[in-house]
Structure 1
Amino acid sequence: MSTTQTLGTQTLGAAGLRAGEARTAVAIAAFLGLGLVFLAGFAPASALHNAAHDFRHTQNFPCH
Protein backbone atom coordinates (compact mmCIF):
# COMPACT_ATOMS: atom_id res chain seq x y z
CA MET A 1 0.00 0.00 0.00
CA SER A 2 1.36 3.41 -0.89
CA THR A 3 0.31 6.83 0.23
CA THR A 4 0.83 10.14 -1.49
CA GLN A 5 0.95 13.60 -0.04
CA THR A 6 0.10 16.81 -1.76
CA LEU A 7 1.83 19.96 -0.60
CA GLY A 8 -0.30 23.06 -0.44
CA THR A 9 0.95 26.07 -2.34
CA GLN A 10 0.14 29.67 -1.76
CA THR A 11 0.52 32.56 -4.12
CA LEU A 12 2.81 35.27 -2.84
CA GLY A 13 2.34 38.93 -3.64
CA ALA A 14 4.88 41.31 -5.15
CA ALA A 15 6.59 41.86 -1.78
CA GLY A 16 6.83 38.12 -1.15
CA LEU A 17 4.12 38.22 1.51
CA ARG A 18 0.97 36.20 1.80
CA ALA A 19 -2.30 38.15 1.65
CA GLY A 20 -2.85 37.96 5.42
CA GLU A 21 0.72 39.03 6.17
CA ALA A 22 0.44 41.97 3.79
CA ARG A 23 -2.74 43.17 5.49
CA THR A 24 -1.08 42.87 8.89
CA ALA A 25 1.97 44.82 7.68
CA VAL A 26 -0.22 47.58 6.27
CA ALA A 27 -2.24 47.77 9.48
CA ILE A 28 0.89 48.03 11.64
CA ALA A 29 2.41 50.69 9.35
CA ALA A 30 -0.82 52.70 9.39
CA PHE A 31 -1.06 52.46 13.18
CA LEU A 32 2.53 53.64 13.65
CA GLY A 33 2.13 56.43 11.09
CA LEU A 34 -1.08 57.72 12.63
CA GLY A 35 0.53 57.54 16.05
CA LEU A 36 3.41 59.71 14.89
CA VAL A 37 1.04 62.25 13.34
CA PHE A 38 -1.08 62.29 16.51
CA LEU A 39 1.96 62.76 18.77
CA ALA A 40 3.41 65.49 16.58
CA GLY A 41 0.08 67.26 16.40
CA PHE A 42 -0.25 67.54 20.17
CA ALA A 43 3.40 68.08 21.06
CA PRO A 44 4.47 71.57 22.15
CA ALA A 45 6.09 73.56 19.33
CA SER A 46 9.34 73.97 21.25
CA ALA A 47 9.65 70.19 21.70
CA LEU A 48 9.23 69.62 17.97
CA HIS A 49 11.72 72.37 17.14
CA ASN A 50 14.30 70.96 19.53
CA ALA A 51 13.84 67.43 18.19
CA ALA A 52 14.24 68.59 14.59
CA HIS A 53 17.21 70.76 15.56
CA ASP A 54 18.96 67.88 17.31
CA PHE A 55 18.27 65.56 14.39
CA ARG A 56 19.83 68.02 11.97
CA HIS A 57 22.95 68.11 14.11
CA THR A 58 23.19 64.31 14.23
CA GLN A 59 23.09 64.27 10.42
CA ASN A 60 25.88 66.87 10.17
CA PHE A 61 23.49 69.27 8.45
CA PRO A 62 24.30 72.91 9.15
CA CYS A 63 21.40 74.81 10.62
CA HIS A 64 22.99 77.98 12.03
Structure 2
Amino acid sequence: MSVQNNAATQVVSAKSASAVQSLMAVFCGLFIIGFVGFSHIEAVHNAAHDTRHANAFPCH
Protein backbone atom coordinates (compact mmCIF):
# COMPACT_ATOMS: atom_id res chain seq x y z
CA MET A 1 0.00 0.00 0.00
CA SER A 2 2.85 2.39 0.72
CA VAL A 3 4.16 1.92 -2.82
CA GLN A 4 0.85 3.15 -4.23
CA ASN A 5 0.79 6.10 -1.83
CA ASN A 6 4.35 7.04 -2.78
CA ALA A 7 3.51 6.85 -6.49
CA ALA A 8 0.38 8.95 -6.01
CA THR A 9 2.29 11.48 -3.93
CA GLN A 10 4.98 11.74 -6.59
CA VAL A 11 2.38 12.35 -9.32
CA VAL A 12 0.66 15.08 -7.28
CA SER A 13 4.03 16.59 -6.39
CA ALA A 14 5.10 16.63 -10.05
CA LYS A 15 1.83 18.24 -11.13
CA SER A 16 2.01 20.91 -8.45
CA ALA A 17 5.64 21.64 -9.31
CA SER A 18 4.68 21.97 -12.97
CA ALA A 19 1.82 24.32 -12.09
CA VAL A 20 4.11 26.49 -9.96
CA GLN A 21 6.68 26.68 -12.76
CA SER A 22 3.99 27.63 -15.27
CA LEU A 23 2.60 30.37 -13.03
CA MET A 24 6.07 31.76 -12.38
CA ALA A 25 6.74 31.85 -16.13
CA VAL A 26 3.47 33.74 -16.70
CA PHE A 27 4.23 36.26 -13.95
CA CYS A 28 7.79 36.71 -15.22
CA GLY A 29 6.50 37.29 -18.76
CA LEU A 30 3.90 39.79 -17.58
CA PHE A 31 6.53 41.64 -15.59
CA ILE A 32 8.85 41.81 -18.58
CA ILE A 33 6.11 43.03 -20.89
CA GLY A 34 4.76 45.48 -18.34
CA PHE A 35 8.06 46.87 -17.12
CA VAL A 36 10.23 46.78 -20.20
CA GLY A 37 7.47 47.24 -22.77
CA PHE A 38 5.93 50.32 -21.21
CA SER A 39 8.89 51.75 -19.29
CA HIS A 40 9.55 55.44 -19.51
CA ILE A 41 13.15 54.91 -18.37
CA GLU A 42 15.21 55.62 -21.47
CA ALA A 43 17.96 53.06 -20.75
CA VAL A 44 15.43 50.24 -20.26
CA HIS A 45 13.45 51.30 -23.30
CA ASN A 46 16.50 51.46 -25.56
CA ALA A 47 17.89 48.15 -24.30
CA ALA A 48 14.87 46.24 -25.62
CA HIS A 49 13.81 48.56 -28.44
CA ASP A 50 14.90 46.51 -31.46
CA THR A 51 13.59 43.27 -29.96
CA ARG A 52 10.16 44.77 -29.38
CA HIS A 53 9.92 46.10 -32.91
CA ALA A 54 11.18 42.80 -34.37
CA ASN A 55 8.31 41.06 -32.54
CA ALA A 56 5.75 43.69 -33.60
CA PHE A 57 5.32 44.96 -30.02
CA PRO A 58 4.46 48.66 -30.10
CA CYS A 59 6.47 50.89 -27.80
CA HIS A 60 5.73 54.38 -29.05
Which TM-score band (shorter chain)? 0.5 to 0.7
2:14 pairs with one of 3, 18, 23:
18
Superposed CA RMSD:
2.8
Q: When the two structures are superposed, what TM-score results if normalisation uses the length of structure 1?
A: 0.50
SS at structure 1 position matched to 2:7: coil
- 2:40 corresponds in structure 1 to 44
Q: When the two structures are superposed, what TM-score results if normalisation uses the length of structure 2?
A: 0.53
Give the percent of matched residue pairs that are identical in Structure 1 and Structure 2.
23
Aligned equivalents of 1:52, 1:6: Cα separation in 2: 53
Q: Which 4+ stretches in 1 moved above 4 angstroms?
A: none
Aligned equivalents of 1:21, 1:38: Cα separation in 2: 26
Q: Unpaired segments of 5 or more residues in structure 2?
A: 50-60
Query: Could you say if the C-alpha distance between residues 27 and 39 of structure 1 is closer, same or farther in structure 2, counting changes exceeding 3 Å?
Result: same
1:32 aligns with 2:21: no
